[in-house]
């Protein structure tokens, strides 16, 4: 097992403001090893005082940062990407300990985050307004940063979430105050050590704490000009209301209950089974993108289910840092109990439990919530098929009527993502067009490519991340018109 000394963690982390960790004056809360329950560091339980100091630091830094050229901001983002790349092995291990996910996945998270910093370094240089001639003059529409942005991220993929928020915000010329989730702050606080060596003081500030304290203070602060949040739809409503009260723009990336559709014309059934398993169980099922509703055509249903169940039984559940682990622990006891409760709900609803459904004891990690990959045969109206569980639980539905299947695929309050598998081009395009989802992946789930818009329909959010348009969410559009001469009088004609 990797020791905390090998990871060079600090014993205590205060708020990161003006490129310094502030001394901890009040209460702290523990960052715990998700598997063993061991406390690996203490984090300052920040609130209004620290948020106010961070916002003031960001506001002070904003004019100089805004004045920097896009090329200068891009250069610093590229430097940050390079130091994260050099430190990926250590940062990935920190995340595996902190949130319980296997090392293979947290390593991919950091590579994904690196690509975000590099993408927005490039995008910043090409983020332009527009112009056109008008009679006797010219119209210019230019992009200007909002100023101080308040950013709040969840615990499931902290490296990616930090990059999703920080990269576009600072690339567009804003300064930021970021609140990481209390269940997953360690790698973000360690990221601050790199930020302090690259960025000017006050450009990027990070304040740990609880949502109802630090998060609430950040969303309500009058010095914050833009809010961005990733998390549950329920909390998203609270953030949106806070923004509405102060009339500041809010972008939201929220929950999902994504459909994944299998047509009978697939050519390699084993490959599709494997990808459908990946769509559900990646991140231990703790992903808003997860394809947790699997629609399998009646003509191949029995064969598909036999292979799916067999595949799930082969999944190795074990410690996050073990090289042969495929699935590891959920982030906390609270999340583990939530998932187990939903499994009980599925059974009580009459769903047929095909495999899994139990907590697994892992030697040396008895405190962790390791839950078997779980598959139900269900109907779309059941709670387990309608509500976001955020765990390794898959609901499978049999379909034969195409229009009914599409109606059920769209028949949830979410619309974040969707997948489908077919060798028929018409099936692919028609289905993708009819699905109410911000991202539709054909023949490869989670097929996120740099520059592809990522955002949801319905209750899955407002705005798109991961693309050039994201920079528009972090900027005002200002119109300036220039006339070559003053017009002839028309309002008050000469006598």
SS3 139: strand
Residue 14 Rama label (left phi>0; alpha psi -120 to 50; beta): beta
The DSSP code for 487 is: P
Residue 150 confidence (pLDDT) above 60: yes
Query: What domains, with CATH codes, occur in the chain?
Result: 12-254+460-479 (3.40.605.10), 259-442 (3.40.309.10)
What is the pTM for the complete model shown?
Answer: 0.96
DSSP bridge partners of 39: 32
Distances (CA, A) of 370 to 85, 222, 374, 384, 387: 30, 43, 12, 19, 21
The backbone torsions φ and ψ at residue 421, rounded to the nearest 5 degrees and listed phi first, read: -130, 120
DSSP assignments along 259-317, one per residue: EEEE-TT-S-HHHHHHHHHHHHHGGGG--TT---EEEEEGGGHHHHHHHHHHHHHHPPB
pLDDT at 491: 73
The DSSP code for 465 is: B
Residue 12 Rama label (left phi>0; alpha psi -120 to 50; beta): beta
Residue 1 confidence (pLDDT) above 50: no
Binned at pLDDT 50, 70 and 90, residue 2 comes out as: low
SS3 284: helix
Binned at pLDDT 50, 70 and 90, residue 284 comes out as: very high
Residue 5 confidence (pLDDT) above 80: no
For 47-66, write each residue's pLDDT tens digit. Answer: 999 999 999 999 999 999 99
CA 470 from chain center: how many Å? 14
In percent, the amount of the chain with pLDDT more than 70 equals 98
The average pLDDT across 207-224 equals 98
pLDDT at 489: 75
Mean pLDDT of the chain: 96
List active site positions.
253, 288
Residue 204 confidence (pLDDT) above 60: yes
For 375-401, write each residue's pLDDT tens digit. Answer: 999 999 999 999 999 999 999 999 999
pLDDT at 4: 60
pLDDT at 262: 98
Residue 482 confidence (pLDDT) above 70: yes
DSSP assignments along 267-282, one per residue: S-HHHHHHHHHHHHHG
The average pLDDT across 66-74 equals 98
For 159-200, write each residue's pLDDT tens digit. Answer: 999 999 999 999 999 999 999 999 999 999 999 999 999 999
Six-digit token string for 253: 């990336």
pLDDT at 242: 96
């Amino acid at each position: 097992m990797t020791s905390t000394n090998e990871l060079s963690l600090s014993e205590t982390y205060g708020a990161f403001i003006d490129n310094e960790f502030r001394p901890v004056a009040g209460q702290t809360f523990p960052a715990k090893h998700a598997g063993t329950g061991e406390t690996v560091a203490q984090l300052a339980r920040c609130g209004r005082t620290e948020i106010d100091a961070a916002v003031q630091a960001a506001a002070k830094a904003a004019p100089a940062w805004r004045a920097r050229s896009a090329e200068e901001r891009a250069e610093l983002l590229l430097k940050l990407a390079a130091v994260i790349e050099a430190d990926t092995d250590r940062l990935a291990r920190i995340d595996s300990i902190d949130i319980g996910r296997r090392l293979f996945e947290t390593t991919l998270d950091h590579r994904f985050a690196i690509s975000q910093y590099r993408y927005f370094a490039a995008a910043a240089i090409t983020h332009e307004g527009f112009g056109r001639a008008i009679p006797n003059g010219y119209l210019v529409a230019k992009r200007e940063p909002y100023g101080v942005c308040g950013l709040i991220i969840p615990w499931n993929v902290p490296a990616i979430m930090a990059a999703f928020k920080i990269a576009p915000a600072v690339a567009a010329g804003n300064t930021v105050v970021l609140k990481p989730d209390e269940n997953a702050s360690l790698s973000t606080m360690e990221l601050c050590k790199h930020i302090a060596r690259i960025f000017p003081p006050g450009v990027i500030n990070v304040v740990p704490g609880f949502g109802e304290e630090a998060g609430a203070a950040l969303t309500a602060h009058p010095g914050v000009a833009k809010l961005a949040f990733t998390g549950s739809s329920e909390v998203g409503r609270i953030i949106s209301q806070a923004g509405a009260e102060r009339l500041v723009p809010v972008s939201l990336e929220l929950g999902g209950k994504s459909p994944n559709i299998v047509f009978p014309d697939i050519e390699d059934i084993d490959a599709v089974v494997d990808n459908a398993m990946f769509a559900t169980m990646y991140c231990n099922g703790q992903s808003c993108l997860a394809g947790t509703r699997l629609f399998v055509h009646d003509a191949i249903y029995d064969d598909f289910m036999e292979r799916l169940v067999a595949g799930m039984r082969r999944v190795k559940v074990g410690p996050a840092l073990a090289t042969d682990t495929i699935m590891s622990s959920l982030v906390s006891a609270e999340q583990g109990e939530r998932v187990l409760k939903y499994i009980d709900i599925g059974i009580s609803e009459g769903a047929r439990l095909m495999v899994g459904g139990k907590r697994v004891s892992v030697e040396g990690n008895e405190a962790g919530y390791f839950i078997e990959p779980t598959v139900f045969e269900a109907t779309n109206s059941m709670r387990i098929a309608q509500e976001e569980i955020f765990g390794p639980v898959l609901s499978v539905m049999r379909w034969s009527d195409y229009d009914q299947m599409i109606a059920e695929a769209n028949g949830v309050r979410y619309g974040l993502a969707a997948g489908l598998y077919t060798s028929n081009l018409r099936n692919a395009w028609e289905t993708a067009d009819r699905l109410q989802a911000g991202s539709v992946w054909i023949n490869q789930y989670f097929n996120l490519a740099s520059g592809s818009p990522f955002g949801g329909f319905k209750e899955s959010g407002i705005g798109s991340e991961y693309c050039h348009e994201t920079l528009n969410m972090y900027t005002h559009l200002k119109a300036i018109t220039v006339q070559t001469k003053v017009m002839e009088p028309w309002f008050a004609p000469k006598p």
